[in-house]
């Protein structure tokens, strides 16, 4: 059976968690392949809002196997908190949650280094969530990191102290102290909890399940424009957020991949620093922010808002081989008389392009817009795709024509039921 992959096509926060939750009942396995607690996937059903950070979004379905893959960086303390919240809500996760022994551990010193590094950048801050993600991936690539499987070794405490010693030296380079003593007791308590979970070689687990005919939904975090290689570098995350990351982050071969679901908002948002060609720094941007409740589910930070950006979407679609688009939060644009769509950019020298240039040139782009009439309809009251307003159907057709990929889902509200399948 195949592996289908779900990825964000923008700068994250597209609504991937909701779509995983909607699609999950048709899958046997949901597997998270990268990122860490810097990602927040929000799911709303039965009138209750759930925010997941490291736990795969299929966890609310008892028949689904949920896998935290080797590409994830795992904070044991945050992970325990997440699972406790699920327990408090009556979710029995113990039997269907598996964690890769090869996933990297986020240590208290990683979080401290993250803050120190960001402060050292001064006015050139990346916009880090300060969750320790970057320093953990640095240790992974530097081959000095600790992995989940290491907590089962008799010398784990020694390995931990060696890591802290290295991090102390890095902090001292910036003239800082790590100041992690108050967090270590909670960390080691969470490590003890982590030892009780199903820690395994998930690459074998997943490939065995595929041989048994099980189908897998690979869940990505962040968005393609934050990819470490292809995003708006250096204002990116520290992992591969595109489809290729699913192979390395889960240990599955490319031949298994079939569908690629690309998730995009009907507009565009970004958190943190970095170029954002269609950003709106006026009352329209604020109207979108308030209507869409655009505040980070992990950090609470207000998101930067703007109109949808087709050159950036085309770039992400190309990189991921997207087979269908899921258009999220269309209801946020309910009150607009006109909807703007960026179809091209004008460069600093006056040239018109539909390509995404290198990050250095992104700062000097002027978006070229096409205006379409708004629908001025309460979309959350729509339950039948055929009843969608003509203006929204025209908007969707415009996107399909210019992106050359079908839009198969339109989301018209936060709840699980507010998800309209177009075909």
Annotated binding-site residue numbers for IMP: 13-16, 38-41, 129, 143, 222, 237, 301
Three-state DSSP state, 286: helix
Q: Which residues contact 328 (CB under 8 A, 6 or more apart)?
A: 14, 15, 18, 19, 263, 264, 265, 266, 411
Tell me the two tokens of residue 198: 């199903």
Q: What is the token pair recorded at 132? A: 């320790």
Active site residue 41: yes
- What pLDDT does 329 receive? 97
4, 28, 41, 256: the catalytic one is 41
Binding positions for substrate: 297-303
Sorted by where each starts, the structural domains of the chain and their CATH numbers stand as 265-421 (3.90.170.10)
Instruction: Characterize 173-205 residue by residue with b for buried, 16 or more Cβ atoms within 10 angstroms of its Cβ, and e for exposed.
Output: eeebebebeebeeebbebbeebeebebbebbeb
**Is the bond preceding 68 in cis, omega lying within 30 degrees of 0?**
no
Q: 309 - beta bridge partners?
A: 342
Give φ, ψ of 352 to 5 degrees. -105, 135
- In this prediction the pTM is 0.92
DSSP state of 288: H
- Per DSSP, what are the bridge partners of residue 351? none
* In the block, residue with structure tokens 């597997």: 31
Count of CB atoms situated within 10 Å of the CB of 309: 28
Report which of 172, 231, 204 is spatially closest to residue 358, judged by C-alpha positions: 231
Which listed residue (50, 53, 110, 140) is catalytic?
A: 140
pLDDT along the chain (423 residues), means of 10: 95 90 92 85 65 87 95 96 92 95 97 85 71 92 97 97 94 87 93 98 98 96 95 92 98 98 97 91 96 80 95 98 98 97 93 84 88 96 94 98 98 90 87
CB 170 within 8 A of CB 113: yes
13 tagged catalytic: yes
Neighbours of 213 (CB within 10 A): 8
Residues 83-121 as b/e (b if ≥16 CB within 10 A, e otherwise) read beebeeeebebeebbbbbbbbbbbbbbbbbbbbbbbeee
Residue-level pLDDT at 43: 64
In the annotated binding site, the residues are: 12-18, 38-42, 129, 143, 222, 237, 297-303, 329-331, 411-413
């Amino acid at each position: 059976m195949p592996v289908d992959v779900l990825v964000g096509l923008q700068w994250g926060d597209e609504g991937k968690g909701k779509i995983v939750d909607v699609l999950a009942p048709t899958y046997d396995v949901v597997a998270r392949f990268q990122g860490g607690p810097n990602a927040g996937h929000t799911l709303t059903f039965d009138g209750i809002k759930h925010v997941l950070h490291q736990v795969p979004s299929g966890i609310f379905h008892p028949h689904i196997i949920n896998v935290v893959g080797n590409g994830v960086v795992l904070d044991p303390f945050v992970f325990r908190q997440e699972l406790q919240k699920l327990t408090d809500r009556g979710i029995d996760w113990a039997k269907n949650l598996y964690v890769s022994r090869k996933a990297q551990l986020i240590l208290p010193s990683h979080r401290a280094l993250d803050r120190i590094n960001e402060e050292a950048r001064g006015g050139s801050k990346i916009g880090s969530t300060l969750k320790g993600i970057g320093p953990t991936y640095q240790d992974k690539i530097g081959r000095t990191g600790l992995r989940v499987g290491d907590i089962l070794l008799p010398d784990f405490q020694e390995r931990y102290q060696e890591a802290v010693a290295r991090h102390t030296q890095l902090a001292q380079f910036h003239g800082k102290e790590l100041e992690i003593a108050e967090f270590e007791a909670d960390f080691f308590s969470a490590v003890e909890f982590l030892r009780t979970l199903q820690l395994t070689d998930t690459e074998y687990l997943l490939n065995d399940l595929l041989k048994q005919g099980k189908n897998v939904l690979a869940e990505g975090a962040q968005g393609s424009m934050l990819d470490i290689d292809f995003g708006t570098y250096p204002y990116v995350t520290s992992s591969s957020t595109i489809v290729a990351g699913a192979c390395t982050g889960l240990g599955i071969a490319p031949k298994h991949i079939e569908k690629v679901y690309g998730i995009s908002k009907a507009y565009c948002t970004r958190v943190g620093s970095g170029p954002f060609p269609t950003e709106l720094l006026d009352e329209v941007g604020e109207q979108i922010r308030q209507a869409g409740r655009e505040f980070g589910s992990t950090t609470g930070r207000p998101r930067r808002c703007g109109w949808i950006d087709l050159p950036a979407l085309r770039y992400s679609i190309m990189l991921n081989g997207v087979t269908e688009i899921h258009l999220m939060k269309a209801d946020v644009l309910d009150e607009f008389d006109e909807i703007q769509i960026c179809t091209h950019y004008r460069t600093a020298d006056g040239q018109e392009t539909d390509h995404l240039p290198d990050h250095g040139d992104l700062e000097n782009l002027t978006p070229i817009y096409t205006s379409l009439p708004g629908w001025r309809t309460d979309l959350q009251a729509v339950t039948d795709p055929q009843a969608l307003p003509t203006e929204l159907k025209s908007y969707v057709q415009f996107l399909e024509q210019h992106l050359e990929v079908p839009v198969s889902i339109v989301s018209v509200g936060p709840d699980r039921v507010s998800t309209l399948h177009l075909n």
